[in-house]
Chains A and B, each alone.
Chain A
Amino acid sequence: MATSHASVSSHAKAAHNPKLQDSRCLSPLLEWMKHHIEHQTALETTILKDCTYFTRKEILRLHGRYHELAPHLVPMDYTNEPDVKVPLALIVNMPELKENPFRNRIVESFSEDGMGNLSFNDFVDMFSVLSEMAPRELKAIYAFKIYDFNVDNFLCKEDLEKTLNRLTKEELTPEEVVLVCEKSIEESDLDGDNKLSFADFENMISRAPEFLSTFHIRI
Chain B
Amino acid sequence: MELTGLNRTDSATAGQGYYSAGQSLRLRRLSSRVSNQNATPHFDWGSSREGGEDGNEEEPQNVRELPMPFGLRKAVRQVQQMRIPVASRRMRQSRALKRFSAEAKNALALVTLWRRAIHQIGGHFGGGVQSYFVFLRFLVVLNFLSFLLIAAFVLIPGIVFHSLDLSSSVPQLPNSTNITGKEECMVYDPNPGALTVFYTYFLDLLSGTGFMEYSYMFYGYYNNTLVVANGFSYNIPLAYLLTASFYFIFCFICIIVRMGGVARVAVTTGGGAARSYSMMVFTGWDYGLQGDRATKLKKNNIRYQLQVDLEEERIKLKTQSQTLLQTVGLYSLRAFLNLVVIGLIIGAFFGITLATRYSQETDKTQNGILDLLLEYLPSIVITASNFVVPFLCDQIALLEKHSPSTTIILALLRAVFLRLVSLGVLLATLWLNITCNSKPDECIPCGYNYGQYQCWETRVGQEMYRLALFDFLTTIAVLILVEFPRRMVVDNCSWKLIKWVGRQEFLVPPNVLGLVYAQTVVWTGTLFCPLLPLVNTIKLIIIFYCKKVTLFHNCRPATKTFRSTSSNIVFFLVLMFGWILATTVLIYSIAELHPSFGCGPFRFSSTMWSTIPNSFQGLSNTTQEFLRYVGSQAFSIPLFIFSCVLLCYVAAVASVYGKSVALLRTQLQLEGRDKQFLVKQIEELTQKLGIPKHDRDPMVLSHGGAPWEQQQDGHS
Q: Given contacts A137-B65, A142-B67, A198-B704, are A51 and B285 in contact (CB under 8 A)? A: no
- Please give 12 more A-B residue pairs, beta carbons under 8 A apart, in addition to A167-B281, A183-B278: A47-B74, A141-B706, A168-B299, A184-B278, A190-B669, A191-B676, A193-B676, A198-B705, A199-B668, A209-B265, A215-B283, A217-B288
Q: Is the CB of A201 within 8 A of B282?
A: yes
How many chain A residues touch the partner (CB < 8 A)? 71
- Which of B41, B70, B294, B299 is most buried by chain A, counting CB atoms within 10 A of its CB? B70
Q: Is the CB of B295 within 8 A of A99?
A: yes
Q: How many A-B contacts are there with CB distance less than 8 Å?
A: 184
Q: Is the CB of A144 within 8 A of B706?
A: yes
Looking at the assembled complex, report how far the CB atom of B668 sits from the nearest CB atom of chain A, in whole angstroms: 5
Q: Beta-carbon contacts of B620-648 to A below 8 Å, as 1s and 0s?
A: 00000000000000000000000000000
Beta-carbon contacts under 8 Å, B699-714 to A = 703-708
Q: Beta-carbon contacts of A112-138 to B below 8 Å, as 1s and 0s?
A: 100000010110110010100011011
Top 10 closest pairs, chain A to chain B, by CB: A191-B672, A197-B704, A184-B278, A168-B303, A99-B295, A121-B70, A141-B67, A183-B277, A184-B277, A208-B283
Looking at the assembled complex, report how far the CB atom of B623 sits from the nearest CB atom of chain A, in whole angstroms: 48
Beta-carbon contacts under 8 Å, A100-115 to B = 100-102, 112
With a cutoff of 8 Å between Cβ atoms, the chain B residues found around residue A184 in the complex are: 276-278, 281-282
B residues with CB within 8 A of A: 17, 37-38, 40-41, 63-65, 67, 69-71, 73-74, 77, 119, 122, 127, 265, 268-270, 276-279, 281-292, 294-296, 299, 302-303, 306-307, 310, 564-565, 665, 668-669, 671-673, 675-676, 703-708
A137 to B676, CA, bound (A): 25
- Chain A residue with the shortest CB-CB distance to B289: A99
24 sampled A-B residue pairs with Cβ under 8 A: A52-B64, A95-B290, A96-B290, A112-B17, A138-B64, A141-B708, A145-B708, A167-B303, A180-B306, A190-B668, A192-B672, A197-B705, A198-B705, A198-B707, A201-B282, A204-B278, A204-B282, A205-B283, A208-B283, A213-B119, A213-B122, A213-B286, A215-B283, A217-B287
A201 to B295, CA, bound (A): 25
Looking at the assembled complex, report how far the CB atom of A147 sits from the nearest CB atom of chain B, in whole angstroms: 7
Q: Does chain B have a CB within 8 A of A188?
A: yes
Beta-carbon contacts under 8 Å, A138-156 to B = 138, 141-145, 147, 153-154
Q: Is the CB of B668 within 8 A of A99?
A: no
Q: Is the CB of B64 within 8 A of A199?
A: no
Q: Is the CB of A187 within 8 A of B276?
A: yes
- Which of B40, B122, B282, B286 is most buried by chain A, counting CB atoms within 10 A of its CB? B282
Q: Is the CB of A191 within 8 A of B669?
A: yes
Q: Is the CB of A199 within 8 A of B705?
A: yes
Looking at the assembled complex, report how far the CB atom of B542 sits from the nearest CB atom of chain A, in whole angstroms: 27
With a cutoff of 8 Å between Cβ atoms, the chain A residues found around residue B282 in the complex are: 143, 147, 163, 184, 201, 204-205, 208, 211
Looking at the assembled complex, report how far the CB atom of B31 sits from the nearest CB atom of chain A, in whole angstroms: 12
Q: Beta-carbon contacts of A201-219 to B below 8 Å, as 1s and 0s?
A: 1011111111101111110
With a cutoff of 8 Å between Cβ atoms, the chain A residues found around residue B294 in the complex are: 99
Q: Is the CB of A199 within 8 A of B38?
A: yes
- Chain B residue with the shortest CB-CB distance to A135: B65
A137 to B707, CA, bound (A): 11
A82 to B567, CA, bound (A): 52
Q: Does chain B have a CB within 8 A of A31?
A: no
With a cutoff of 8 Å between Cβ atoms, the chain B residues found around residue A172 in the complex are: 303, 306-307
Q: Is the CB of A153 within 8 A of B281?
A: no
With a cutoff of 8 Å between Cβ atoms, the chain A residues found around residue B292 in the complex are: 99
Looking at the assembled complex, report how far the CB atom of B78 sits from the nearest CB atom of chain A, in whole angstroms: 8
Q: Is the CB of B668 within 8 A of A207?
A: no
With a cutoff of 8 Å between Cβ atoms, the chain A residues found around residue B672 in the complex are: 190-193, 197, 199
With a cutoff of 8 Å between Cβ atoms, the chain A residues found around residue B288 in the complex are: 214, 216-218
Looking at the assembled complex, report how far the CB atom of B547 sits from the nearest CB atom of chain A, in whole angstroms: 20
With a cutoff of 8 Å between Cβ atoms, the chain A residues found around residue B708 in the complex are: 141, 145
Looking at the assembled complex, report how far the CB atom of A130 sits from the nearest CB atom of chain B, in whole angstroms: 7
Q: Is the CB of A51 within 8 A of B70?
A: yes
Q: Is the CB of B704 within 8 A of A190?
A: no
